[in-house]
Structure formats: structure tokens, C-alpha cells
Chains A and B, each alone.
Chain A
Amino acid sequence: MKAHRVFAIALRFVLAMKYSLERLTDSFYWPIIDLFIWGLTSRYLQTVSGGNIKIMVGIISGLLFWLIVWRAQYEIGMNLLGDIWNRNLINIFVSPLNFWEWISAFVILGLVKAFLSFSFASVVAYFLYKVHVFIYGFYFVPFVILLLMTGWWIGFTIVGCILVIGRRVEAFAWTLGSLIIPFSAVYYPVSILPLWAQRIAHLIPTSYVFEAAREILHSGTYDFNKILTAFFLNLLYIVLSLLFMKKAFDRVMLNRGMVNIY
């Protein structure tokens, strides 16, 4: 793997950002709007529930943590689409760049943008509601890693789907990630879900992360097995999604020809 080639892809999308109001709003505008809506909603809930601050902290930190998953997956899917829309794939793959360098650039971009969006929204949340994510102490670090991992496998799955099915499912890039929100227990415990949904939630790594976050909020400690389970589930899904994406790439791009298709 050559760093300058990964840098080339990252540079291409960083440069493109300044021309795209849409990408800037994705990074900063929507998080702010969400913070306003959910922040005020949770403040209201806090008032009617007798001033329980934990409700507000739980909802706001859930929103901030989900930003990490969202950014990580969104960058992977949207960057692939950016190259398809620009008919730029051929320019990239007639160069020595290999598939893994290409994907690494997307992952790094997702990481940087997740960090930027999360930091920005965290500062805004602190100023608006005096809620800060460091309330979770050192547990904050594994949570972020696990959420990034989830964002990556969702992103890889989206890329695989777009490659196999084609551009008619390009909306997956901004919709597929949302599919796991209800089962991730971002704002409510898994126990509140119907039984069938709880079964699904147990297969979703983020449900363990958000459950653990809530445990910390309420009792100051958490079940480490939840973190381990989330980690191994993420690892399994990353491997499977990478295999799926690579197979899709080989089958569609190399066997059918990327110039004809894209």
C-alpha cells in the first residue's frame, strides 16, 4: 500500500468539498438542526419527568454518537457515487492505485469527517445544553471505535449493493444506515422493543454500545461483555462486508467492464 495513492483519493474529495454546499450541510447543518430539535424535545421531557437530567444527556449523547456511525458510512457510499457520477472510476483504476488503497482513502475520510462533525456538534451541544460527551470518561474511546467500525461495514455493504444492483439503488448511500437505527437503541433501551425487534437488536453491534452508554449514565459502570460482543460482531460484519464489496467490485467492474457500466 502506497501512502501517496491513498492521499491522492483523499485529496480529490477534500478539494471537492469546498465546491459542494451539500457536503458542507451534511457535515454541519443537519447536526445543528438535529441538536436543536432533539435538544429542545429532551429538555421538555426533562421538565415533565421532574427534572431528570439523564434523559436529556442520554438523548443528546445518543444523537452525537450516532453522528459517528452516520459520517463513517456516508463518506464511503457518497465518495463512490461521486466517482461514478463524475465518470472518474476509469481514471483512478488505470493508475497503479489498488482496490484496498481506494477503500482506505474512503475510510480515512470518513474518520476525519466523523471527528469534525462530532467535535463541532459536541461543542454546540455543550454551549446550548451544557451536555458534554466526556461524561462517559475513558469509556468514550471504545465507544467511538465501535461506532466507527459499524459505520464502515454499513458503508462497505452500501458500496457492494450499488456495484451489484447499479445506480438505481444509489439512495442506499443516505438511507441504508438509517435502517439499523430503530434496532440500535440509540434513544431507548432494547427492552422497550417488541420481542422480534429485540432479536434483531442483539445482532446489531450499536445496540450494545448504546446500552452500555446508558448503563454508565445511570450506574457509572457497565457490562464489559457488551463491548466485547459489539467488537466481535463488528469484526465479523467488517470481514463479511469487505468480502461482499470486493466480490461485487471484481464481478461488476472487472468482468463486465467499468467503462461500459459507469
Chain B
Amino acid sequence: MVVLSVSHLSKKFGDFIAVDDISFDLKEGEILGILGPNGAGKTTTIQMLLGVLRPDSGDVTYFGKEFNKHREEILEQVNFSSTYTNMPWELTVKENLTFISYLYTIEDRKKRVESIIKTFRLEEILNKQMNKLSAGQITRCNLAKGFINYPKVLLLDEPTASLDPEVAGFIRNFLLEERQKFQVSIILTSHNMAEVEEVCDRVIFINHGKVVADDTPDQLAKSIHTSHLELYVKDGLKRTIQFCEEQKKAHRIDGRYIVIDLKETEIPIFLKALMDLGIYYTEISIDKPSLEDYFLEVVGKKL
């Protein structure tokens, strides 16, 4: 079942086209990643999906209802969390969650606030003011806020930025559990490609305001044919470099390590050729193409 449908959404700021005729769907229980370089139009898209920015054209439909006409009813079932927004600095964590809970129609409001506090491990910082929290603690509070109204659709902007790896892992697991238990549908933007590969069922890649790809992380990665062959060359590094240059293979040197970009099918032939040249290597690793490789290829620059 489609819970969110975006159709031909466009937005211009003056002459700059921020979002250009974007269309996509989000299914119930699906986790959809929106990727793209800075300025690609991700945040603008999210703002339009939340109704805090008016599109120039196009339609947004949640649960089969037009967002413009059923804003309040829809936003009761949608929420948003971002690392880059704040809750009132002077209030404590509990005060913030309490006041935000009153913005929604929640039957068991008090219980819900308590359970969210427990879920996001906020007990120890409950009575601390927001301005006294670390960046990671603020991110956890923002996430807790995002779940307060039992959302059916959740939009997350860089949800694990500034979290330590343990907490970030916990959050990723939590998202997957929520999806499994309550069929929550999630849209997630992140610059952490490994996270997107781990969590997202599908990825939309936006560049210059347009959707340039819409597929699973695996399929997107597979569309990149280049693998990275890494060797620790004990004897014959110069001959290896020369051979790469003759074969016109991109390569990078780091001490006695050499990384060569090759198609997956070329690797056995390449290794055989090195053996014939009498090159002696003691370590070998092969990195298959990842979402990050896809990102770099599309964006055309290093992250």
C-alpha cells in the first residue's frame, strides 16, 4: 500500500531550480533513502513533504488524501526529526517532550512520553536543559520527539549525525524494529552511505533537483562496474605500476600498497598477469562497488 505519493513536485527560488519535477512513492513499512550532494534538493523536498514550504507545482498525497486539503489530519500521523533543528534551549528534555506531545492528539499522552524517554535512554538527562546537552544527546532527543505521536510516516534528516557508533547502531536497529512492529514508513536522508545501505529498502538519488536514480542500494551499487583490488606488493611494485599504466588502469599508491580500479571480471586475468611478471604480493583484498562508489560516480567528486 502506498502511504505517500509525490507527483511532479517542483520548486524554484528566483532563477534557481531547487526541485525539478520530482515524482516517487513510499510504501507502507518501507524505508526510503534520499541521497544527493549538498544543494541537490533533498531538504527542499523534505520541507515540501512536511508542508513548511509551498511547492510551485505538483502534488503530495498521504494515505490517499491530498496534503493541502487534509494537512492537520495527515500531520497527526507524520513526524520529522533532524539533527539540524532544535527544541527550545531553555527547557528540559522532559518539558520539551511534554509540550510537543500536546501538539498531537495522543490518548495516553503521559504514558507515551514516559515510554519514549525509556526507549531513547533519556532517563539520565531528563531534567537537564537542552543547552546543557551534548550534540549526541540532542540528536537522541530530536529522534524521541519524532516518534512521540506514533507516526505512520517519519521523515528523518541525518538522524544519526553526531552520534557515537554504538548509539548510531542502536538507532538503526530501533528504526528497523519500529518498521517491523508497526509498519512505520520512513524517509531518511544521510551522508553515511553504509547506514543507507544497511537500513534502506530503496534509494532515490537526487542531483540538481532531479531524481537521477530510484532503486535498491544493491542495484545502484551494481550499476557501478568498478571494483577495487588492493595488494601489498612485497617485490615488484615498480613493475606493477608500469603494468597498470600500460593497461591504462587507474591506481593509487600508499606505501607498498597499491589499489587498482578494475571490472570484477578483469580481476582474475589481472592477477594472472602479475603472476606471470613474477610480482610477489603478500596481502590481497577486493572491495566490491558500494553505494558510496555510486554516489562518487554520479556526483563526480570525492565526498
Chain A residues in contact with chain B, CB under 8 A? 2, 4-5, 7-9, 11-12, 15-16, 19-20, 82-83, 86-88, 90-98, 250, 253-260
Given A257-B44, A257-B52, A259-B85, A92 and B91 touching (CB < 8 A)? Answer: no
Kindly provide the distance from the CB of B176 to the nearest chain A CB, expressed in whole angstroms. Answer: 23
Within 8 A of A (CB), among B68-95: 71-73, 75-76, 78-80, 82, 84-91, 95
- Specify which chain B residues have a CB less than 8 angstroms from the CB of A97 in the assembled complex: 103
Instruction: Determine if B145 is an interface residue (Cβ-Cβ < 8 Å).
Output: yes
- Specify which chain B residues have a CB less than 8 angstroms from the CB of A259 in the assembled complex: 43, 47, 52-53, 84-85
Residue in A closest to B130 when the chains form the complex, CB atoms = A86
A95 & B88 in contact (Cβ 8 Å cutoff): no
Instruction: Determine if B243 is an interface residue (Cβ-Cβ < 8 Å).
Output: no
A11 & B87 in contact (Cβ 8 Å cutoff): no
B54 & A91 in contact (Cβ 8 Å cutoff): no
B87 & A5 in contact (Cβ 8 Å cutoff): no
Q: How far does the alpha carbon of A96 sit from the alpha carbon of B44 in the complex, in Å?
A: 20
- Specify which chain A residues have a CB less than 8 angstroms from the CB of B91 in the assembled complex: 12, 15-16, 19
A254 & B53 in contact (Cβ 8 Å cutoff): yes
Q: How far does the alpha carbon of A19 sit from the alpha carbon of B73 in the complex, in Å?
A: 34
Q: How far does the alpha carbon of A2 sit from the alpha carbon of B105 in the complex, in Å?
A: 9
- Specify which chain B residues have a CB less than 8 angstroms from the CB of A98 in the assembled complex: 71-72
B80 & A254 in contact (Cβ 8 Å cutoff): no
Residue in B closest to A87 when the chains form the complex, CB atoms = B86
Instruction: Determine if B102 is an interface residue (Cβ-Cβ < 8 Å).
Output: yes
A88 & B87 in contact (Cβ 8 Å cutoff): yes
Q: How far does the alpha carbon of A88 sit from the alpha carbon of B101 in the complex, in Å?
A: 15
B88 & A94 in contact (Cβ 8 Å cutoff): no
Instruction: Determine if B233 is an interface residue (Cβ-Cβ < 8 Å).
Output: no
- Specify which chain B residues have a CB less than 8 angstroms from the CB of A8 in the assembled complex: 99-103
B87 & A91 in contact (Cβ 8 Å cutoff): yes
Identify which of B53, B87, B98 gathers the most chain A CB atoms within 10 Å of its CB: B53
A82 & B88 in contact (Cβ 8 Å cutoff): yes
Kindly provide the distance from the CB of B250 to the nearest chain A CB, expressed in whole angstroms. Answer: 39
Instruction: Determine if B129 is an interface residue (Cβ-Cβ < 8 Å).
Output: yes
Kindly provide the distance from the CB of B72 to the nearest chain A CB, expressed in whole angstroms. Answer: 4
